[in-house]
Amino acid sequence: IVIVGGVAAGASTAARARRLDEQAEIVVLERGQHVSFANCGLPYHIGGAIQERDSLLLQTPESLKASLNLDVRVGHEVLRIDRAARRVAVRELASGRAYEESYDKLVLCPGAVPVRPNLPGIDHPRLFVLRNIDDMDQIKAVVDGGARSALVIGGGYIGVEMAEALTDRGIKV
């Protein structure tokens, strides 16, 4: 079983697959550097309510190997799917090495990409999205660097929690 994407959907799918078949070879290919983290905690680390960054990291490739015998590969991007041959083309981001991984079952859990409308200024270095640990680290660095005001676009749970966390840090939101 090859699972494209980690975090909530991919890691949960891999764990369920393991419970259903103790003998299956299960490979999780995650483009990012973290396979499992507390998404909803990201604003709270930026705001300071969650002090330890590592407390947001729920599982690692090593812990998933030890507990569920999963082959989790972070920093691996799936480039193509060949359904007829039952293979995916993969690139290891750190080295650039390309290889193919075969599968009997393929599960797609790639997550989402934030909408960045084609507007003037959209590439400004102080315009951020908050989807993962790397995004959180970038925002926290700016906040820790003395940011005094912020505009939060998006009123879902993460947006509201981000506005609350920034306000708690004394930032005008």
Band of pLDDT at residue 113, cut at 50, 70 and 90: confident
pLDDT at 67 over 90: yes
Which of 33, 28, 31 lies closest to 133 in space, CA to CA?
Answer: 33
Mean predicted confidence (pLDDT) in 83-97: 98
**Residues whose CB is less than 8 angstroms from the CB of residue 3 and which lie 6 or more positions away in sequence, other chains included:** 10, 13, 14, 17, 26, 27, 28, 29, 106, 107, 109
pTM score: 0.86
Band of pLDDT at residue 114, cut at 50, 70 and 90: confident
The CA distance from 10 to 172, in Å, is: 37
- CB-CB contact of 146 with 168 (8 Å): no
Inter-helix orientation angle 61-68/7-20, to 10°: 20
**Residues whose CB is less than 8 angstroms from the CB of residue 104 and which lie 6 or more positions away in sequence, other chains included:** 1, 86
pLDDT at 82 over 90: yes
pLDDT at 134 over 90: yes
pLDDT at 93 over 90: yes
For 136-169, write each residue's pLDDT tens digit: 999 999 999 999 999 999 889 999 999 999 999 9
Residue 115's pLDDT is 84
Indicate if 40 belongs to the active site. yes
Which of 56, 54, 61, 43 lies closest to 156 in space, CA to CA?
Answer: 43
Average confidence score pLDDT of the chain:
95
Residue 39's pLDDT is 87
The CA distance from 135 to 1, in Å, is: 30
Q: What is the DSSP letter of 149?
A: B
**Residues whose CB is less than 8 angstroms from the CB of residue 77 and which lie 6 or more positions away in sequence, other chains included:** 29, 31, 90, 91, 93
Residue 48's pLDDT is 94
For 8-43, write each residue's pLDDT tens digit: 899 999 999 999 999 999 999 999 999 999 988 999
* Catalytically annotated residue among 21, 40, 82, 100: 40
Residue 84's pLDDT is 98
Residue 112's pLDDT is 85
